[in-house]
Chain A
Amino acid sequence: MKKNKEPFINSTVRRMVRDTRPIRKWLILSSLLSVGIIACAIATPELLGKLIDQLYAWLQGDPSASLTAQLLPDLLILFAVYAANAGITYGNHYLLNHVVSRFYTAGLRIRMSDKLQRLPVSFMDKTPAGDIIEKMQEDVSSMGNSIHGIIEILITGFLQILAIAVFMFLKSWLLALAVLAVMPLSLWLSSKLASLSEKSWHASFEYFGKMYSTVEESYTNFPATKAFNLENHVQQHHDEINTDHQEVARKANFLQSIVQPIIAFTNALAYILIALLGGWLIVYRSVPVGTVVTVILFAKQLSAPLERIASGFGELQMVKASAKRVYDVLDLEEEIRPAEEIHAAVEGNIRFEHVDFSYSKDKPLIEDLCIDVKKGQNVAIVGPTGAGKTTIVNLLMRFYDLNGGKILIDGQDVATLSRDSTRDLFGMVLQDTWLFKGTVAENVAYGKPDATREEIIDACDRAYCDHFIHTLPQGYDTVISEDTTTISAGQKQLLTIARALLANKQLLILDEATSNVDTRTEILIQKGMDKLMEGRTVFVIAHRLSTIVDSDLILVLNHGQIVEQGTHQELLEKQGFYYQIYTSQYAI
């Protein structure tokens, strides 16, 4: 309940406004246009009042004078004001639309996406993609929409009220006071209702999030739900959350919908006050009828900005939550980037010296790990699930930082190199193939953007995928993506091997994957991998027995420690943990 005590305009709102800097000059122009709209809004009742006055005056005056001739000039002005009002209103919308979408929201979206690129991999591992995308779309959209709203509140609304107030004072200060007496009441009411509905909206968003994940989970788990006859169970769970969500949504809706009628009522009160005062003034103070009529019409004009401010307050409350979520992402701590870029030609000797690492403080994983790999060696890493095999890749690629010790490449501590230049030394084929939406050729050339078509074809040929690429409808120019079903998982893997071959790095990391691949492709992948490994220093997360058997060095990991190392033959003779792993597969 701390939220209640937050100031109405807090740092988030201030920051939102600060971020409008690139479009500020347009916002100022838009405010000027708003002043034009206000001028029209003031001129309209003024002119109408004058016209009605003329009608009354004509009735009392000379019946032979031409009424229409008297009316015509003001009518023409009225028409011009109407036209100007429509034109400026549209122009203002047009302007805001363009600058806000083009420079404000687009800018925020790009900033968020680029921010992702500077965040540690650990963040991305923990955060579902949907979360981030929702923030980039929905939250940024609502920020963009509300920048409109906030400007309208801060500038248009208040300026309009101010201008109307001034004009009313000029007409009759007493009447003006009567109208303005009602205003604080209506402003107070609308801000009160806004913060009440804010709480309900917050709760409603929260429940919606819960419901979204329940629905998503249930639909994803559809087969399991069927297999275990759990339909009623999940339905019950869903309905509970659904009901709770609707309960708070109802409250929020209701609170928001009654703002307008309440403001309308306070306007009626203002009207009554003026009519009473006006009647009294005409009788006892002989104020002209036209003046009273004008003020009455002004008072009616007040209702529009007041209602807008009320709904603006509501919107401000809603957008504060969105903006906070966006800024939370932008404020996340980034990867530390040493500025130094050292591009050393490497031979490929790698040493881990007393490396300590864990993903969370209370659960130590790797402690005092020492590995010595000579150039050109083929190192297999084996061990049970959770032993830390993938962690070694994360550390080598510096996706995560060490807690202690060092990693040396050709005797140089990688911590002194920039991340980019370290990563530049490695080629990588991961179990999770990653293809982006683009042509086959673009995907293969991802690690070497300036590669010629010949080089690409050569790499594909060596990775045994040239053949199947030719069977695709547009060959190397076929557009593929992660979801493409025309190429199999194994073929996708071959493309990533070609990608690594083309990038031609001295150091190589292979996360061998043999799942989901048919036998023939599997043989091709194996051959491709073998070719890739020639003459390079290679780390293999080994799943396949043949790799283990042939490697120069096998590191057997258990609980983050190297429990054994040596060649296949040496380790078998030892009859230790490796022997257990190796024989266990035949014991199933």
Chain B
Amino acid sequence: MRKLLIYLKPQRKRIVFATLLMAVSVLCNLALPTIMSSILDNGVYRSAVENTFPYTAKMCGIMLAVALISLAAVIAGFRLTSRITTAFTRDLRSAIFRKVHTMTFEEMGKIGTGGLVTRSTHDVGTLAWVASMLSGNIFIIPIMFVGGVALCFSKDITLSLIMLAMVPLVIVVVVLLGKKITPRWELSDKYCDRQNDIVRERIRGIRVIRAFNREPREHERIAEATHVMAENIIKANTTMALTVPMTTFVLNIAIALIVWVGGLRIQGGSDLTPGDIFAVIQYVELVLNALISASFAIIMFPHARVAAKRICEVMEAEGTADLIPEEDLHFSGRIDFEDASFQYEGADRAALSHSTLHIKPGDRISGIGGTGSGKSTLVSLLLSFRQPTDGRVLFDGRDAATISRKTIRRNISCALQKSMIYSGTVRENVQMGRMDATEDEIREVLDIAQLSDFIAEQKDGMDYILEQSGTNLSGGQKQRLAIARCIIKDAPIYIFDDSFSALDFLTEAKLRTRLNSQFAGRTQIVITQRVTSAMNSDCIFVLNEGKLVGAGKHAELLEQCEIYREIFASQTGGARK
């Protein structure tokens, strides 16, 4: 948690000012009961025997002034604290976002996209919420507490000790409850997630559920999960609800005791006045308020700590600082894998093992294989998303590990397996491939990607607005848009990672024909599961269970490679050609 405090550093000046303002306001609030009690003692009470009205009026004037100062100070203080907390939140969010983008794929995978999103939004939100709850109080609570106690002592030591005796009791109560609440909140969070999962399942499976007419069963499942969740929320809330009545009760006992002991002392001839007792009671209430606020803070603290811990997981990631300086390199398109292997941490077998392959500039290459064959790992190594755990990847004979990642990625253009669309317009999405692309160039790549018809149908044409992750596009449209972005980038190497899977044969054929004429002389790597997409390549690499089991042209592979023959037979029903 301490590590996150550095994001408060730029706010130092504001924090000092805010503390001063809050202190002024608290001091004013502490003075108010004293003024009130002297109005009562010297003004109201004595007015029965003499005319103290002018005195009362004067003190009321002072009280008004003090209240006004307090109000002004607290408003100015809150202005500052709201600035502090929002600036803290903004900086922290921005830092997390930046950090995430320097993470390695392993680190990213470990926390998962969902987890990272939660950390960036929800967890920061929790900290912001706690910070804003505390920002006012963190200064006020101690001042109010110490001030209240000090004023108590100035009136009467014995009565103050009674109150102080109760404070440890309150602390014990709060700490015990806090301990009990944390696991209950964790449980209730867990059941909350469980319910979410079931709802998600119900939404995703809507077609199957309806096809099998199983709504009653789904209703039962939801009802059960919802009730389990409710019971756990109830448990957590019920424990929480104990805090205020218990704290208040303990302090109230102190008040009763103070009146009792005060009475005894007055009777015993001490110079204590009833007004003093009245004032002490007011101070106890002040201390009580401070304690209640503090107990909320203590109970919220575990929540904040969990959030902070999760955020620190991100901030502590080592990431992949690009240490090698960028270079103005232009690859020819020659790629060599020298006995390259990659094994995921903790995996019992390599995702890609000891593969050696050579690609010449301008080659049209295909990689084919099923799930887990290692073809996506091949792409990850090419793009330097991951580093080979053994062996080397070379561009133009130079080890990829010695070239800056940015430089490598500038030389490769890739349409990834999952089409990644950014909210914005179609035009903006294409431009992300090359920021200075002209209108005509964009139009042309959209045409090559077989999206012209779609664009023509839209009222806004290329300015058609895409929603988050392109939810308003079909799978095939997303793929084609990703392809358009890939081909507008000017690079010696193009990779299409399973980018044609959602396209029908005809669309794919048209697209590939255009690509081939456009990219003559550039290296083209097509990763696919469709044997028909691979058949006409200059060289086909066949992957199976992480191993390169065949390389060559279609006809050669049909003769030599059993796996390839199997794939071909299963997908074409043994069709000849």
Of B75, B100, B264, the residue contacting A261 (CB under 8 A) is B75
> Are A522 and B423 in contact (CB-based, < 8 A)?
no
> Are A68 and B230 in contact (CB-based, < 8 A)?
no
**B110 at the A/B interface (Cβ < 8 Å)?**
no
> Are B97 and A238 in contact (CB-based, < 8 A)?
yes
Total residue contacts A-B, CB cutoff 8 A = 447
Q: Kindly list chain A residues whose C-beta atoms are within 8 Å of the C-beta of B67.
A: 265, 268-269, 272
Q: Kindly list chain A residues whose C-beta atoms are within 8 Å of the C-beta of B2.
A: none
A106 to B226, CA, bound (A): 6
> Are A384 and B504 in contact (CB-based, < 8 A)?
yes
**B71 at the A/B interface (Cβ < 8 Å)?**
yes
- Residues of A211-259 contacting chain B, CB below 8 A: 211-231, 233-235, 238-239, 242-243, 245-247, 249-251, 253-254, 257-258
Q: Kindly list chain A residues whose C-beta atoms are within 8 Å of the C-beta of B179.
A: none
**B317 at the A/B interface (Cβ < 8 Å)?**
no
> Are A246 and B245 in contact (CB-based, < 8 A)?
no
**B489 at the A/B interface (Cβ < 8 Å)?**
yes
Of B208, B210, B371, the residue contacting A446 (CB under 8 A) is B208
- Residues of A479-510 contacting chain B, CB below 8 A: 481-482, 488-490, 503
Of A78, A251, A423, A517, the residue contacting B259 (CB under 8 A) is A78
Q: What 1/0 flags go to B502-520 for Cβ under 8 Å of A?
A: 1111111110110000000
B371, closest chain A residue (CB): A516
Of B199, B267, B535, the residue contacting A133 (CB under 8 A) is B199
B365 to A: closest C-beta gap in Å: 14
Q: Kindly list chain B residues whose C-beta atoms are within 8 Å of the C-beta of A386.
A: 474, 476
Of A102, A235, A520, the residue contacting B227 (CB under 8 A) is A102
> Are A436 and B205 in contact (CB-based, < 8 A)?
yes
**A383 at the A/B interface (Cβ < 8 Å)?**
yes
Q: Chain A, interface size: which category? A: 35 or more
> Are A239 and B210 in contact (CB-based, < 8 A)?
no
**A363 at the A/B interface (Cβ < 8 Å)?**
yes
> Are A399 and B222 in contact (CB-based, < 8 A)?
no
Q: Kindly list chain B residues whose C-beta atoms are within 8 Å of the C-beta of A218.
A: 97, 101
> Are A219 and B87 in contact (CB-based, < 8 A)?
no
Given contacts A223-B385, A242-B94, A253-B82, contact A545 B260 (CB under 8 A): no
Between A and B, 18 residue pairs with Cβ closer than 8 Å are A56-B274, A68-B264, A93-B238, A101-B237, A113-B222, A216-B117, A219-B100, A220-B469, A227-B409, A227-B416, A245-B90, A275-B40, A363-B457, A397-B207, A517-B370, A526-B570, A587-B513, A588-B535
**A51 at the A/B interface (Cβ < 8 Å)?**
yes
Interface 9-residue window, one of B7-15, B44-52, B156-164, B355-363: B44-52
Q: Kindly list chain A residues whose C-beta atoms are within 8 Å of the C-beta of B572.
A: 545-546
Of A279, A397, A434, the residue contacting B204 (CB under 8 A) is A434
Of A113, A253, A271, the residue contacting B63 (CB under 8 A) is A271
**A544 at the A/B interface (Cβ < 8 Å)?**
yes
Given contacts A257-B78, A276-B57, contact A586 B577 (CB under 8 A): yes
B32, closest chain A residue (CB): A268
Q: Chain B, interface size: which category? A: 35 or more
Q: Kindly list chain A residues whose C-beta atoms are within 8 Å of the C-beta of B90.
A: 242-243, 245-246
A82 to B267, CA, bound (A): 25
> Are A213 and B202 in contact (CB-based, < 8 A)?
no
**B383 at the A/B interface (Cβ < 8 Å)?**
yes
A268 to B60, CA, bound (A): 10
Of A68, A217, A430, the residue contacting B422 (CB under 8 A) is A217
Of B43, B101, B202, B468, the residue contacting A234 (CB under 8 A) is B101
Interface 9-residue window, one of B247-255, B391-399, B436-444: B247-255
> Are B204 and A129 in contact (CB-based, < 8 A)?
yes
> Are B471 and A128 in contact (CB-based, < 8 A)?
yes
> Are A257 and B136 in contact (CB-based, < 8 A)?
yes
A419, closest chain B residue (CB): B210
A340 to B249, CA, bound (A): 64
**B211 at the A/B interface (Cβ < 8 Å)?**
yes
Q: Kindly list chain B residues whose C-beta atoms are within 8 Å of the C-beta of A582.
A: 505
> Are A522 and B370 in contact (CB-based, < 8 A)?
yes
A26 to B: closest C-beta gap in Å: 13
* A71-B263, A238-B97, A254-B79 given; 10 more Cβ-contact pairs under 8 Å: A68-B260, A217-B469, A220-B469, A221-B420, A222-B113, A229-B410, A272-B60, A293-B40, A489-B371, A587-B509
Of A68, A136, A246, the residue contacting B89 (CB under 8 A) is A246
**B93 at the A/B interface (Cβ < 8 Å)?**
yes
> Are A250 and B409 in contact (CB-based, < 8 A)?
no
> Are A113 and B202 in contact (CB-based, < 8 A)?
yes
B260 to A: closest C-beta gap in Å: 5
Given contacts A110-B226, A397-B211, A518-B371, contact A220 B113 (CB under 8 A): yes
> Are B242 and A279 in contact (CB-based, < 8 A)?
no
Q: Kindly list chain A residues whose C-beta atoms are within 8 Å of the C-beta of B177.
A: none
A457 to B201, CA, bound (A): 25
> Are A66 and B267 in contact (CB-based, < 8 A)?
yes
A502 to B: closest C-beta gap in Å: 11
A266 to B74, CA, bound (A): 14
> Are B210 and A231 in contact (CB-based, < 8 A)?
no
B360 to A: closest C-beta gap in Å: 21
Q: Kindly list chain A residues whose C-beta atoms are within 8 Å of the C-beta of B102.
A: 231
> Are B260 and A254 in contact (CB-based, < 8 A)?
no
B197 to A: closest C-beta gap in Å: 7
> Are A385 and B505 in contact (CB-based, < 8 A)?
no
> Are B222 and A293 in contact (CB-based, < 8 A)?
no
Q: Kindly list chain A residues whose C-beta atoms are within 8 Å of the C-beta of B94.
A: 235, 238-239, 242
Q: What 1/0 flags go to B49-73 for Cβ under 8 Å of A?
A: 0011100110110011001101100
**A377 at the A/B interface (Cβ < 8 Å)?**
no
Q: Kindly list chain B residues whose C-beta atoms are within 8 Å of the C-beta of A523.
A: 566, 570
Of A238, A447, A519, the residue contacting B570 (CB under 8 A) is A519
A237 to B86, CA, bound (A): 18
A250 to B81, CA, bound (A): 9
Q: Kindly list chain B residues whose C-beta atoms are within 8 Å of the C-beta of A346.
A: none
Given contacts A222-B101, A242-B90, contact A211 B249 (CB under 8 A): no
Of B51, B202, B256, B418, the residue contacting A79 (CB under 8 A) is B256
**A292 at the A/B interface (Cβ < 8 Å)?**
yes
> Are B226 and A549 in contact (CB-based, < 8 A)?
no
A427 to B: closest C-beta gap in Å: 8
A460 to B266, CA, bound (A): 91
**A449 at the A/B interface (Cβ < 8 Å)?**
yes
Q: What 1/0 flags go to A178-192 for Cβ under 8 Å of B?
A: 000000000000000
> Are B242 and A254 in contact (CB-based, < 8 A)?
no
B531, closest chain A residue (CB): A585
B117 to A: closest C-beta gap in Å: 5
**A75 at the A/B interface (Cβ < 8 Å)?**
yes
Q: Kindly list chain A residues whose C-beta atoms are within 8 Å of the C-beta of B198.
A: 437
B89, closest chain A residue (CB): A246
> Are A250 and B117 in contact (CB-based, < 8 A)?
no
Given contacts A110-B223, A215-B97, A261-B74, contact A78 B256 (CB under 8 A): yes
A528 to B326, CA, bound (A): 54
Interface 9-residue window, one of B213-221, B301-309, B328-336: B213-221
Q: Kindly list chain B residues whose C-beta atoms are within 8 Å of the C-beta of A424.
A: 213
**A420 at the A/B interface (Cβ < 8 Å)?**
yes
> Are B246 and A86 in contact (CB-based, < 8 A)?
yes
> Are A549 and B573 in contact (CB-based, < 8 A)?
yes
A246 to B125, CA, bound (A): 11
> Are A282 and B469 in contact (CB-based, < 8 A)?
no
Q: What 1/0 flags go to B118-160 for Cβ under 8 Å of A?
A: 0011000100100010001000000000000000000000000
Q: Kindly list chain A residues whose C-beta atoms are within 8 Å of the C-beta of B231.
A: 101-102
Q: Kindly list chain B residues whose C-beta atoms are within 8 Å of the C-beta of A384.
A: 504, 506-507
A437 to B196, CA, bound (A): 12
> Are B432 and A97 in contact (CB-based, < 8 A)?
no
**A289 at the A/B interface (Cβ < 8 Å)?**
yes
B178 to A: closest C-beta gap in Å: 17
Across the A-B interface, the 4 shortest Cβ-Cβ residue pairs: A546-B573, A518-B370, A93-B241, A279-B56
B104 to A: closest C-beta gap in Å: 10
> Are A588 and B508 in contact (CB-based, < 8 A)?
yes
Of B56, B457, B506, the residue contacting A580 (CB under 8 A) is B506
Q: Kindly list chain B residues whose C-beta atoms are within 8 Å of the C-beta of A52.
A: 274, 277-278
